Amino acid sequence: MRSRYSGYALAQGRTPCSPAIVDYLMQTWHPSTAPGELELGPLNWTGLEIVHEQASGDAGVVEFVAHHKVNGRAATLHEMSRFVREDGAWHYVDGVVATDGTGDPRP
């Protein structure tokens, strides 16, 4: 998770974005859920908090809060991510974004 966050932090908001970073992010995504292309928006990532992590065999979950700015305004992404380990490497499968109770992702 920290490695994926670092990749996004290095890539987003930079034009042009390094193709090597985008390739790395795609390699850390499980092929069954990876997008065809990765679109990176104008976010400026400012910090990562790992709230909880747990692994059982080749499956794991990571709950995190990632801090960022959009157009200069602070925001957070609170997500519970699922990972699987294949051939010794962890791959992101999917995640559920925490909400503030209204159904909207937390700002």
Running along the chain, 107 residues long, what does each successive block of 10 average in pLDDT?
89 77 93 90 90 97 93 92 96 90 45
44-71 as b/e: b if 16+ CB within 10 A: ebeebeeeeeeeeeeebbbbbebebeee
In this structure, CATH architecture of domain 2-97: Roll (3.10)
Q: What is the pLDDT of residue 102?
A: 43
Full-model pTM: 0.84
Domain boundaries, the chain: 2-97
Q: What is the pLDDT of residue 19?
A: 86
Q: What is the pLDDT of residue 85?
A: 97
